Amino acid sequence: MNTDITYETGVIWQDFQHKQLIDLFEKIKKARSDEKEKDLYPYTTAFLAMYVNHHFSLEEEYMAKYDYPDTQVHTREHTAFLKELKAFRKEHREYAPEAVDDLLVRMEKWISSHILENDQKLGKFILSKESTDK
């Protein structure tokens, strides 16, 4: 997965927050292959829980602000991921190598199916609105 060139849209706050998630994913993926993931696991799950609430709210605020036509689909994906993460945290309260593997699969899927897809569409839309607003 090459995320370096494809996730940015030019919407600064959104690019910055996506980078935070992608960096964390790369970090825990590397830690897993070096067998150093045990300490990073609780941080990763805690960060994710905090991050998604804040990040999704902000994207949804912008969708409402600019009357984004795909709001329903986009918000539905956010809600589904929030639910998925909640279930994940309930199932894997403690560190286990399998929990990290499961989390890596879910994070990678989220990055490629949402950040590199619908978030890109949203970013381009926000950018077009902000350039005509000025």
The footprint of Fe ion (CB under 5 A) covers: 59, 119
CA neighbor of 9 nearest in space, from 122, 98, 133, 97: 122
**Nearer to Fe ion (CB atom), residue 37 or residue 119:** 119
* Residue 59: CB minimum distance to Fe ion, A: 5
Residue closer to Fe ion, measured from CB, 37 or 59: 59
Tokens of 12: 């600064």
**Phi/psi at 46 (5° precision):** -70, -40
Least gap, CB of 47 to Fe ion (angstroms) = 15
Cβ within 8 Å of residue 85, ≥6 positions away: 48, 49, 52, 106
101 or 117: whose CB is closer to Fe ion? Answer: 117
Q: Using CB atoms, what's the residue nearest to Fe ion? A: 119
| Closest separation in Å from C-beta 120 to Fe ion | 9
